[in-house]
Amino acid sequence: MMKIAITGATGFVGSRLVERLNLESSQVEGHQVLVLTRSPERAQRIFPASAYPRVEIMGYTPTESGEWQRAIAGCDGVVNLAGAAITDERWTPQRKQEILNSRVKTTEKLVKAIDQAEPRPRVLVNASAIGYYGTSETATFDEASHPGDDFLAQVCQAWEATAAQVKAGGTRLVVLRFGIVLGDGGALEKMLTPFRLFAGGPLGTGKQWFSWVHREDVVNLILFSLQHPEVEGVLNATAPDPVRMAEFCQTLGQVLNRPSWLPVPGFALEVLLGDSAKLVLEGQQVLPKRTLAANFDYQYPKLEPALREILQGN
């Protein structure tokens, strides 16, 4: 049995992680989950006590110290998934600062809570992103690659450096650099509308890389990181089969039985998304070398079966 504290638990990945831990907790001596959330009311709707009897919900302000930090004591592990959404708003200077603070300051307070805990958690699993590497149509990146120098790369570097401070106190650290997480909702949901209207096609040139991962594999990798004390350091949370955007959209069209020939021009995305459009217009080819070397077993290593499971349930 483990007791796990989770930030970002009501998000796309976090909610599934809590669900999985709750399923496992149906066993005798199952897991306990501490959900740290800015909105306890929303968390209670998502995780009702009747269905989630071993989930405790605690309100907190993630960038501020508070009583919540005391609750970290006695937890076996902490999973930090907190962070403002990257693509929901245009990147104004204010929004960029919010994106940075929601990751770095939250992690700073979490690391302080772990350092003060007695007993302290044995492991911190901290989210990051493949934005760490910057973008490229030609380069291939793995966990040993150097960071990029754009805004998201700088955010990821600061985020990871803050999390790394936890190692000084003896807590094991696993940093998971998330690719584009595919599941029921999230980024994929935003891409489905044009296909359902028979107007789908590649975004931008179609030549940019799309480093994706099934949500179930992300959750499995988090659980794997919590449960295997030999695992530490940076792991890419991406499938071992990245594809070009054109191939992704073609495969998506096939699964939906819809055409995939009408490209969305880059300038249209830039009008809608501003600077954040580069996430889909540029991309990067990321390989999970250390993840595979750790003997993590992907449930969905290939794109078409992953999309069929999400969209068709098979």
CATH code for residues 3-181+214-238+286-299: 3.40.50.720
Break the chain into its structural domains and give their ranges. Answer: 3-181+214-238+286-299
Instruction: Note the pTM of the prediction, 2 decimals.
Output: 0.93
d(CA 124, CA 224): 13
Instruction: Dump pLDDT digits (tens) for 118-140.
Output: 999 999 999 999 999 999 999 99
Q: What is the mean pLDDT of each run of 10 residues along the chain (314 residues)?
A: 95 96 65 95 96 94 88 95 85 92 95 94 97 94 96 97 96 97 86 72 83 97 97 98 92 87 60 59 93 98 97 78
Reference 135, options 179, 168, 92, 98; nearest CA is 179
d(CA 107, CA 159): 7
Q: With the CA atoms of 245, 246, 251 and 253 taken in that order, what torsion angle do they form, in degrees rounded to the nearest 10?
A: 110
Instruction: Dump pLDDT digits (tens) for 27-54.
Output: 545 689 999 999 999 999 999 999 999 9
